[in-house]
Amino acid sequence: MSVQEMRMFDGSDTVVLYDELAYQDVLPFAWRPLPQATDREVAAGYMERNARLLQAREALDQLGPVAVDKPDESSPNAADLLRLELKVNLLLDLVGQVLATSRPRPTAVPVRFNSQGVVWKSGGPLPEAGAQGIAEIYLHDALAEPLRLPGRVSSVTPDGHVKVRFVPVGEPVADLLEKLCFRRHRRQIAGARHPRRGA
């Protein structure tokens, strides 16, 4: 594991993993060990569902935070759109709460991932290097299913950082993951330039 990857979650650098832009957050995450590599048909099913989840996440990101500023008065429908966005965000919050109570999720941990792999800080028993399994990453409270990404453990540090290299995720999923990482990176840059008042 590189020095940059060891400094994960300190917020000082552009977030990378396997020399590519990565997404970093504290998310519900689980590593499910497998006795052998995932067969091709099962992996194809995962990738199809992963693509749908990432498209849903992209739609959620397009909603964005609700603007509390006065609507643009030059647009005749601005007030209606703002009210509609408030209602959609409220509905998503409610869906997330229902899902959280009806389907408990794994513990949230610091995680960094992209289309190449994932690294997380494990609080439980550590897998061995070379072990195969599936990384399950829950992207949003309003999405019931996690991303399921098969891979192999490439390294484990004594302090509990586990690094996995994914089997190839396929071009559609790789493109969607790249967009997710880029949107996150862009928001972090914007947040650094314009910190919220009182923060």
Domain boundaries, the chain: 3-62+106-191
Q: What mean pLDDT is reported for the chain? A: 80
Residue 70 · residue 168 · CB < 8 Å: no
Structure token pair of residue 39: 């067969």
Fill in the amino acid letter for 41.
Answer: E
Residue 97 pLDDT class (50, 70, 90 cuts) = low
Residue 28 pLDDT class (50, 70, 90 cuts) = very high
Backbone angles phi, psi at 49, to 5 degrees: -70, -40
Residue 197 DSSP SS3: coil
Residue 158 DSSP SS3: coil
Q: Roughly how many angstroms between the first and final C-alpha of the chain, as a whole number?
A: 33
Residue 69 DSSP SS3: coil
Asked whether the CA dihedral 182, 183, 187, 188 is positive or negative, the reply is negative
pLDDT in tens, 50-81: 999 999 898 887 765 543 344 455 667 766 66
pLDDT in tens, 149-169: 999 999 999 999 999 999 999
Q: What percent of the chain has pLDDT over 70?
A: 69
Fill in the amino acid letter for 46.
Answer: Y
DSSP H helices, the chain, are 3-6, 40-63, 78-102, 171-193
Instruction: Give which of 154, 17, 182 is closest to 6, Cα–Cα.
Output: 17
CB-based contacts of 177: which residues, under 8 Å, 6+ apart?
Answer: 23, 54, 113, 114, 115, 169
Beta bridge partners of 132: 34, 152
Please give the model's pTM, rounded to 2 decimal places: 0.74
Cα-trace Rg, the chain: 19
pLDDT in tens, 110-158: 999 999 999 999 888 899 999 999 999 999 888 889 999 999 999 999 9
CB-based contacts of 183: which residues, under 8 Å, 6+ apart?
Answer: 58, 61
Q: How many CB atoms lie within 10 A of CB 115?
A: 22
Domain 3-62+106-191: CATH class, spelled out: mainly beta
Instruction: Give which of 50, 6, 74, 55 is closest to 149, Cα–Cα.
Output: 50
